[in-house]
A = this chain, B = another copy of it.
Amino acid sequence: MNPRISDRMSNLKPSAIREILKMASPDVISFTAGNPSAETFPDRELAEAIAYILANKPAEALQYTITEGYAPLIARTKDRLAGKYGIPTGGDMIITSGAQQGIELAAKCLLNSGDAVICENPSFIGALNAFRSYGARLLGVPVDDEGMVVDAVDELLKRDGRVKMIYTIPTFQNPSGTTMSRKRRERLLELAIRHDVMLLEDSPYFELSFSGDIAPPIKTMDDADNVLYIGSYSKIISPGIRLGYALGPKWLLSKMTVAKQASDVHTTMLIMMAVDRLLDSFDLEAHIARCRELYRRKGNLMTAELDKRLGKRVRFTRPGGGLFIWGTLPENCPSLELCSIAQRHKLAIVPGMAFETTEDPASRGFRLNFSVPTEEQIIKGVALLAESIDEYLEKRGQ
Protein backbone atom coordinates (compact mmCIF):
# COMPACT_ATOMS: atom_id res chain seq x y z
CA MET A 1 0.00 0.00 0.00
CA ASN A 2 1.39 3.36 -1.04
CA PRO A 3 1.58 5.57 2.06
CA ARG A 4 0.03 8.44 0.12
CA ILE A 5 -3.36 6.69 0.13
CA SER A 6 -5.91 8.25 2.49
CA ASP A 7 -6.82 6.46 5.72
CA ARG A 8 -10.42 5.97 4.64
CA MET A 9 -9.42 4.09 1.49
CA SER A 10 -6.36 2.25 2.69
CA ASN A 11 -8.19 -0.84 3.91
CA LEU A 12 -10.78 -1.04 1.19
CA LYS A 13 -10.39 -3.88 -1.27
CA PRO A 14 -12.04 -4.39 -4.64
CA SER A 15 -15.33 -6.26 -4.51
CA ALA A 16 -14.62 -9.97 -4.59
CA ILE A 17 -17.61 -10.45 -6.84
CA ARG A 18 -16.42 -8.03 -9.50
CA GLU A 19 -13.02 -9.69 -9.41
CA ILE A 20 -14.70 -13.07 -9.88
CA LEU A 21 -16.77 -11.69 -12.77
CA LYS A 22 -13.58 -10.61 -14.50
CA MET A 23 -12.42 -14.23 -14.50
CA ALA A 24 -15.58 -15.40 -16.26
CA SER A 25 -14.85 -17.83 -19.06
CA PRO A 26 -17.27 -19.33 -21.56
CA ASP A 27 -16.93 -22.93 -20.35
CA VAL A 28 -17.80 -22.03 -16.77
CA ILE A 29 -21.44 -21.83 -15.69
CA SER A 30 -21.79 -18.72 -13.59
CA PHE A 31 -24.23 -18.21 -10.73
CA THR A 32 -22.22 -15.19 -9.57
CA ALA A 33 -24.02 -12.31 -11.25
CA GLY A 34 -26.03 -9.60 -9.56
CA ASN A 35 -27.40 -8.74 -12.97
CA PRO A 36 -30.90 -8.81 -14.37
CA SER A 37 -31.40 -10.99 -17.41
CA ALA A 38 -30.40 -9.34 -20.69
CA GLU A 39 -33.58 -10.86 -22.17
CA THR A 40 -35.52 -8.21 -20.30
CA PHE A 41 -33.79 -5.15 -21.75
CA PRO A 42 -36.14 -3.04 -23.89
CA ASP A 43 -33.36 -2.35 -26.40
CA ARG A 44 -35.49 -1.44 -29.41
CA GLU A 45 -37.79 0.84 -27.45
CA LEU A 46 -34.80 2.53 -25.83
CA ALA A 47 -33.13 2.95 -29.24
CA GLU A 48 -36.29 4.65 -30.50
CA ALA A 49 -36.46 6.94 -27.49
CA ILE A 50 -32.81 7.96 -27.82
CA ALA A 51 -33.20 8.57 -31.56
CA TYR A 52 -36.21 10.77 -30.82
CA ILE A 53 -34.38 12.80 -28.17
CA LEU A 54 -31.27 13.28 -30.28
CA ALA A 55 -33.37 14.30 -33.31
CA ASN A 56 -35.59 16.69 -31.39
CA LYS A 57 -33.72 17.97 -28.34
CA PRO A 58 -30.01 17.42 -29.04
CA ALA A 59 -28.78 20.65 -27.45
CA GLU A 60 -30.55 19.88 -24.18
CA ALA A 61 -29.66 16.17 -24.13
CA LEU A 62 -25.95 16.68 -24.78
CA GLN A 63 -25.39 19.75 -22.60
CA TYR A 64 -24.70 20.06 -18.87
CA THR A 65 -27.79 20.15 -16.70
CA ILE A 66 -28.67 20.68 -13.04
CA THR A 67 -27.39 18.22 -10.46
CA GLU A 68 -30.85 17.14 -9.26
CA GLY A 69 -31.59 15.56 -12.63
CA TYR A 70 -34.15 15.88 -15.40
CA ALA A 71 -37.29 17.32 -13.79
CA PRO A 72 -39.88 15.44 -15.91
CA LEU A 73 -38.25 12.12 -15.03
CA ILE A 74 -38.26 13.04 -11.34
CA ALA A 75 -41.95 13.99 -11.53
CA ARG A 76 -42.80 10.80 -13.39
CA THR A 77 -40.88 8.62 -10.96
CA LYS A 78 -42.54 10.26 -7.96
CA ASP A 79 -45.99 9.93 -9.52
CA ARG A 80 -45.52 6.23 -10.13
CA LEU A 81 -44.20 5.51 -6.64
CA ALA A 82 -47.03 7.49 -5.06
CA GLY A 83 -49.81 6.26 -7.34
CA LYS A 84 -48.89 2.61 -7.57
CA TYR A 85 -47.33 1.93 -4.17
CA GLY A 86 -48.56 4.71 -1.89
CA ILE A 87 -45.03 5.95 -1.23
CA PRO A 88 -45.15 9.49 0.19
CA THR A 89 -43.26 11.75 -2.21
CA GLY A 90 -43.46 15.04 -0.36
CA GLY A 91 -39.69 15.00 0.21
CA ASP A 92 -37.02 15.75 -2.36
CA MET A 93 -35.92 13.36 -5.08
CA ILE A 94 -32.74 13.42 -7.10
CA ILE A 95 -31.76 11.20 -10.00
CA THR A 96 -28.57 9.27 -9.27
CA SER A 97 -26.06 7.39 -11.43
CA GLY A 98 -27.48 4.07 -10.32
CA ALA A 99 -28.81 3.27 -6.85
CA GLN A 100 -25.19 2.71 -5.78
CA GLN A 101 -24.58 6.43 -6.03
CA GLY A 102 -27.52 7.21 -3.77
CA ILE A 103 -26.05 4.92 -1.12
CA GLU A 104 -22.57 6.44 -1.47
CA LEU A 105 -23.85 10.01 -1.28
CA ALA A 106 -25.88 9.15 1.82
CA ALA A 107 -22.78 7.63 3.40
CA LYS A 108 -20.72 10.71 2.56
CA CYS A 109 -23.34 13.06 3.99
CA LEU A 110 -24.20 11.12 7.15
CA LEU A 111 -21.16 9.20 8.36
CA ASN A 112 -18.16 10.46 10.26
CA SER A 113 -15.24 8.12 10.68
CA GLY A 114 -16.02 5.79 13.59
CA ASP A 115 -19.79 6.13 13.24
CA ALA A 116 -21.72 2.89 13.01
CA VAL A 117 -24.17 1.50 10.45
CA ILE A 118 -26.53 -1.31 11.38
CA CYS A 119 -27.21 -3.61 8.46
CA GLU A 120 -28.26 -7.10 7.57
CA ASN A 121 -25.47 -9.64 7.75
CA PRO A 122 -24.90 -10.78 5.02
CA SER A 123 -25.65 -7.71 2.93
CA PHE A 124 -24.96 -6.00 -0.40
CA ILE A 125 -21.21 -5.56 -0.74
CA GLY A 126 -21.52 -2.35 -2.75
CA ALA A 127 -23.29 -0.67 0.14
CA LEU A 128 -20.94 -2.14 2.76
CA ASN A 129 -17.94 -0.82 0.83
CA ALA A 130 -19.53 2.61 0.47
CA PHE A 131 -19.94 2.73 4.28
CA ARG A 132 -16.43 1.37 4.84
CA SER A 133 -15.02 3.99 2.49
CA TYR A 134 -16.08 6.65 5.01
CA GLY A 135 -14.57 4.83 7.95
CA ALA A 136 -17.87 3.52 9.31
CA ARG A 137 -18.12 0.52 11.62
CA LEU A 138 -20.53 -2.11 10.33
CA LEU A 139 -22.82 -3.70 12.91
CA GLY A 140 -24.24 -6.79 11.25
CA VAL A 141 -27.57 -8.24 12.29
CA PRO A 142 -28.56 -11.81 11.41
CA VAL A 143 -31.27 -12.49 8.88
CA ASP A 144 -33.92 -15.19 9.29
CA ASP A 145 -37.00 -16.11 7.28
CA GLU A 146 -38.68 -12.84 8.27
CA GLY A 147 -35.65 -10.75 7.33
CA MET A 148 -33.41 -8.73 9.64
CA VAL A 149 -33.76 -9.79 13.27
CA VAL A 150 -35.07 -6.54 14.68
CA ASP A 151 -34.60 -7.47 18.34
CA ALA A 152 -30.87 -7.41 17.69
CA VAL A 153 -31.19 -3.94 16.18
CA ASP A 154 -32.82 -2.70 19.36
CA GLU A 155 -29.95 -4.03 21.43
CA LEU A 156 -27.31 -2.51 19.18
CA LEU A 157 -29.02 0.88 19.27
CA LYS A 158 -29.04 0.78 23.06
CA ARG A 159 -25.45 -0.33 23.30
CA ASP A 160 -23.72 1.81 20.65
CA GLY A 161 -24.12 5.57 20.87
CA ARG A 162 -22.66 6.24 17.45
CA VAL A 163 -25.14 4.51 15.17
CA LYS A 164 -25.98 6.98 12.41
CA MET A 165 -27.80 4.79 9.94
CA ILE A 166 -29.73 1.57 9.58
CA TYR A 167 -29.28 0.06 6.14
CA THR A 168 -31.74 -2.52 4.87
CA ILE A 169 -32.86 -4.20 1.67
CA PRO A 170 -36.21 -5.31 3.05
CA THR A 171 -37.53 -7.12 -0.02
CA PHE A 172 -35.75 -10.02 -1.77
CA GLN A 173 -32.60 -9.03 0.04
CA ASN A 174 -29.20 -9.28 -1.61
CA PRO A 175 -27.68 -11.81 -1.04
CA SER A 176 -30.11 -13.80 1.15
CA GLY A 177 -33.25 -13.47 -0.97
CA THR A 178 -35.39 -13.00 2.16
CA THR A 179 -38.18 -10.49 2.71
CA MET A 180 -38.79 -8.65 5.95
CA SER A 181 -42.20 -9.13 7.54
CA ARG A 182 -44.56 -6.20 7.85
CA LYS A 183 -44.35 -6.31 11.64
CA ARG A 184 -40.57 -6.05 11.57
CA ARG A 185 -40.68 -3.20 9.05
CA GLU A 186 -42.91 -1.21 11.37
CA ARG A 187 -40.76 -1.96 14.39
CA LEU A 188 -37.51 -1.15 12.58
CA LEU A 189 -38.84 2.23 11.50
CA GLU A 190 -40.12 2.92 14.98
CA LEU A 191 -36.67 2.10 16.44
CA ALA A 192 -34.92 4.32 13.89
CA ILE A 193 -37.20 7.24 14.72
CA ARG A 194 -36.90 6.72 18.47
CA HIS A 195 -33.10 6.71 18.29
CA ASP A 196 -32.93 9.56 15.76
CA VAL A 197 -31.15 7.37 13.24
CA MET A 198 -31.68 7.52 9.47
CA LEU A 199 -33.20 4.42 7.89
CA LEU A 200 -31.79 3.78 4.43
CA GLU A 201 -34.21 1.58 2.52
CA ASP A 202 -32.54 0.08 -0.55
CA SER A 203 -35.26 -1.16 -2.83
CA PRO A 204 -33.90 -2.40 -6.16
CA TYR A 205 -35.82 -5.68 -6.35
CA PHE A 206 -39.16 -5.08 -4.64
CA GLU A 207 -41.19 -5.19 -7.85
CA LEU A 208 -39.65 -8.51 -8.96
CA SER A 209 -42.09 -10.56 -6.93
CA PHE A 210 -42.87 -14.02 -8.35
CA SER A 211 -46.50 -13.82 -7.28
CA GLY A 212 -47.08 -10.18 -8.13
CA ASP A 213 -47.85 -9.39 -4.48
CA ILE A 214 -45.67 -6.46 -3.45
CA ALA A 215 -44.49 -6.04 0.15
CA PRO A 216 -45.12 -2.40 1.07
CA PRO A 217 -41.84 -0.46 1.23
CA ILE A 218 -40.97 0.87 4.68
CA LYS A 219 -41.15 4.32 3.12
CA THR A 220 -44.94 3.91 2.85
CA MET A 221 -45.08 3.96 6.67
CA ASP A 222 -42.75 6.94 7.00
CA ASP A 223 -44.89 9.74 8.42
CA ALA A 224 -41.84 11.16 10.21
CA ASP A 225 -39.76 11.59 7.02
CA ASN A 226 -37.05 9.43 8.50
CA VAL A 227 -36.48 7.03 5.58
CA LEU A 228 -34.11 7.63 2.72
CA TYR A 229 -35.60 5.56 -0.07
CA ILE A 230 -33.18 4.42 -2.77
CA GLY A 231 -34.67 3.07 -5.98
CA SER A 232 -33.39 2.00 -9.35
CA TYR A 233 -34.31 1.47 -12.97
CA SER A 234 -31.49 -1.09 -13.20
CA LYS A 235 -33.57 -4.20 -12.58
CA ILE A 236 -36.65 -3.13 -14.53
CA ILE A 237 -35.06 -1.36 -17.55
CA SER A 238 -31.26 -1.73 -17.67
CA PRO A 239 -28.34 -1.52 -15.25
CA GLY A 240 -25.83 -0.46 -17.91
CA ILE A 241 -27.55 2.92 -18.25
CA ARG A 242 -26.89 3.71 -14.55
CA LEU A 243 -30.19 5.23 -13.53
CA GLY A 244 -31.41 5.34 -9.96
CA TYR A 245 -33.02 7.80 -7.58
CA ALA A 246 -33.01 8.87 -3.96
CA LEU A 247 -36.10 10.13 -2.15
CA GLY A 248 -36.00 11.55 1.33
CA PRO A 249 -36.09 14.55 3.64
CA LYS A 250 -35.07 17.90 2.21
CA TRP A 251 -32.27 18.47 4.76
CA LEU A 252 -30.55 15.31 3.57
CA LEU A 253 -31.31 15.47 -0.14
CA SER A 254 -30.07 19.05 -0.41
CA LYS A 255 -26.73 17.93 1.03
CA MET A 256 -26.63 14.85 -1.17
CA THR A 257 -27.15 17.18 -4.14
CA VAL A 258 -24.09 19.21 -3.12
CA ALA A 259 -22.14 15.96 -2.77
CA LYS A 260 -23.33 14.75 -6.17
CA GLN A 261 -22.31 18.06 -7.74
CA ALA A 262 -18.76 17.38 -6.56
CA SER A 263 -19.01 13.73 -7.60
CA ASP A 264 -20.24 13.69 -11.22
CA VAL A 265 -22.10 17.02 -11.67
CA HIS A 266 -25.20 15.20 -12.89
CA THR A 267 -26.36 11.87 -14.30
CA THR A 268 -26.13 11.41 -18.08
CA MET A 269 -28.73 13.80 -19.47
CA LEU A 270 -29.34 11.86 -22.68
CA ILE A 271 -30.21 8.76 -20.66
CA MET A 272 -32.51 10.65 -18.27
CA MET A 273 -34.38 12.24 -21.17
CA ALA A 274 -34.52 9.01 -23.16
CA VAL A 275 -35.93 6.99 -20.27
CA ASP A 276 -38.49 9.70 -19.62
CA ARG A 277 -39.43 9.55 -23.31
CA LEU A 278 -39.49 5.73 -23.23
CA LEU A 279 -41.93 5.77 -20.35
CA ASP A 280 -44.31 7.97 -22.35
CA SER A 281 -45.32 5.06 -24.52
CA PHE A 282 -43.70 1.93 -23.07
CA ASP A 283 -45.97 -0.20 -20.90
CA LEU A 284 -43.64 -0.53 -17.92
CA GLU A 285 -46.17 -2.44 -15.85
CA ALA A 286 -46.61 -5.12 -18.52
CA HIS A 287 -42.83 -5.23 -18.91
CA ILE A 288 -42.31 -5.74 -15.17
CA ALA A 289 -44.95 -8.48 -15.25
CA ARG A 290 -42.90 -10.24 -17.95
CA CYS A 291 -39.71 -9.85 -15.87
CA ARG A 292 -41.53 -11.35 -12.89
CA GLU A 293 -42.72 -14.29 -14.92
CA LEU A 294 -39.20 -14.94 -16.24
CA TYR A 295 -37.62 -14.78 -12.79
CA ARG A 296 -40.43 -16.84 -11.25
CA ARG A 297 -39.77 -19.59 -13.77
CA LYS A 298 -36.01 -19.50 -13.31
CA GLY A 299 -36.11 -19.05 -9.53
CA ASN A 300 -38.58 -21.87 -9.04
CA LEU A 301 -36.57 -24.08 -11.37
CA MET A 302 -33.43 -23.48 -9.35
CA THR A 303 -35.25 -24.16 -6.09
CA ALA A 304 -36.70 -27.40 -7.50
CA GLU A 305 -33.30 -28.54 -8.76
CA LEU A 306 -31.67 -27.71 -5.43
CA ASP A 307 -34.37 -29.68 -3.60
CA LYS A 308 -33.93 -32.61 -5.94
CA ARG A 309 -30.13 -32.72 -5.94
CA LEU A 310 -29.20 -31.51 -2.50
CA GLY A 311 -32.11 -32.55 -0.35
CA LYS A 312 -31.39 -31.71 3.25
CA ARG A 313 -27.60 -31.57 3.09
CA VAL A 314 -27.57 -27.82 2.56
CA ARG A 315 -30.08 -25.20 3.66
CA PHE A 316 -31.35 -22.84 0.96
CA THR A 317 -33.61 -19.81 1.23
CA ARG A 318 -36.84 -19.88 -0.77
CA PRO A 319 -37.17 -16.35 -2.11
CA GLY A 320 -40.49 -15.06 -3.36
CA GLY A 321 -38.76 -12.85 -5.91
CA GLY A 322 -35.60 -10.96 -6.76
CA LEU A 323 -32.48 -12.53 -8.22
CA PHE A 324 -30.84 -14.63 -5.51
CA ILE A 325 -30.92 -17.81 -3.44
CA TRP A 326 -28.66 -18.16 -0.42
CA GLY A 327 -27.18 -21.48 0.62
CA THR A 328 -25.74 -22.34 4.03
CA LEU A 329 -23.34 -25.25 4.46
CA PRO A 330 -23.30 -27.45 7.59
CA GLU A 331 -21.31 -26.44 10.69
CA ASN A 332 -17.54 -26.09 10.21
CA CYS A 333 -17.76 -26.00 6.42
CA PRO A 334 -16.52 -22.63 5.19
CA SER A 335 -17.96 -21.84 1.78
CA LEU A 336 -14.69 -20.43 0.50
CA GLU A 337 -13.40 -23.94 -0.08
CA LEU A 338 -16.65 -24.98 -1.75
CA CYS A 339 -16.20 -22.11 -4.21
CA SER A 340 -12.73 -23.37 -5.13
CA ILE A 341 -14.01 -26.89 -5.63
CA ALA A 342 -16.93 -25.61 -7.71
CA GLN A 343 -14.51 -23.61 -9.83
CA ARG A 344 -12.73 -26.86 -10.67
CA HIS A 345 -16.12 -28.33 -11.59
CA LYS A 346 -16.63 -25.34 -13.94
CA LEU A 347 -19.20 -23.60 -11.77
CA ALA A 348 -18.75 -20.12 -10.34
CA ILE A 349 -20.53 -19.08 -7.13
CA VAL A 350 -19.84 -16.27 -4.67
CA PRO A 351 -18.59 -17.13 -1.17
CA GLY A 352 -20.53 -15.66 1.73
CA MET A 353 -17.56 -13.87 3.22
CA ALA A 354 -17.86 -11.31 0.40
CA PHE A 355 -21.17 -10.19 1.88
CA GLU A 356 -20.30 -10.38 5.54
CA THR A 357 -19.77 -7.25 7.60
CA THR A 358 -16.69 -8.90 9.13
CA GLU A 359 -15.54 -10.61 5.91
CA ASP A 360 -15.22 -13.75 7.99
CA PRO A 361 -13.45 -16.49 6.00
CA ALA A 362 -15.34 -19.05 8.09
CA SER A 363 -18.62 -17.97 6.51
CA ARG A 364 -20.73 -20.96 5.52
CA GLY A 365 -22.99 -19.06 3.17
CA PHE A 366 -22.86 -18.71 -0.60
CA ARG A 367 -24.99 -16.84 -3.13
CA LEU A 368 -26.62 -18.26 -6.21
CA ASN A 369 -28.04 -16.05 -8.96
CA PHE A 370 -30.86 -17.39 -11.10
CA SER A 371 -31.68 -14.40 -13.31
CA VAL A 372 -28.74 -14.60 -15.71
CA PRO A 373 -28.17 -18.32 -16.43
CA THR A 374 -30.46 -20.06 -18.92
CA GLU A 375 -32.78 -22.81 -17.70
CA GLU A 376 -30.37 -25.34 -19.14
CA GLN A 377 -27.49 -23.73 -17.27
CA ILE A 378 -29.51 -23.70 -14.05
CA ILE A 379 -30.12 -27.45 -14.31
CA LYS A 380 -26.52 -28.21 -15.24
CA GLY A 381 -25.10 -25.73 -12.73
CA VAL A 382 -27.07 -27.15 -9.83
CA ALA A 383 -25.83 -30.62 -10.80
CA LEU A 384 -22.25 -29.27 -10.71
CA LEU A 385 -22.98 -27.65 -7.36
CA ALA A 386 -24.26 -30.96 -6.00
CA GLU A 387 -21.11 -32.74 -7.21
CA SER A 388 -18.96 -30.04 -5.64
CA ILE A 389 -20.79 -30.19 -2.33
CA ASP A 390 -20.62 -34.01 -2.30
CA GLU A 391 -16.89 -33.81 -2.86
CA TYR A 392 -16.49 -31.16 -0.17
CA LEU A 393 -18.60 -32.90 2.48
CA GLU A 394 -16.99 -36.24 1.76
CA LYS A 395 -13.57 -34.67 2.20
CA ARG A 396 -14.76 -33.17 5.47
CA GLY A 397 -16.17 -36.56 6.49
CA GLN A 398 -19.69 -35.21 6.86
Contact = CB atoms under 8 A, between A and B. Distances in A.
- Which of under 10, 10 to 19, 20 to 34, or 35 or more describes the interface residues of A? 35 or more
Interface centre among A18, A51, A198, A241 (most CB of B within 10 A): A18
B9 A255 contact: yes
Contact of A62 (B164, B238, B255): B238
Interface centre among A65, A100, A104, A264 (most CB of B within 10 A): A264
Interface in A76-102: 96-98, 100-101
A168 interface: no
A357 interface: no
Interface string A46-79: 1100110011001111111111000000000000
Contacts of A269: 240-241
Given A7-B112, A258-B9, A65 B240 contact: yes
B240 A64 contact: yes
A310 to B, nearest CB: 29
Contacts of A63: 35, 38, 41, 238-240
B22 A41 contact: no
B21 A270 contact: no
A110 B4 CA distance: 6
A25 interface: no
Contact of A100 (B2, B51, B251, B264): B264
A269 to B, nearest CB: 4
A186 interface: no
A129 B262 contact: yes
A82 B47 CA distance: 34
A335 interface: no
A319 to B, nearest CB: 20
Contact of A67 (B6, B18, B252): B18
A14 interface: yes
B9 A109 contact: yes
The 6 A-B residue pairs with the shortest CB-CB distance, nearest first, are A43-B58, A38-B59, A240-B269, A62-B238, A47-B54, A2-B251
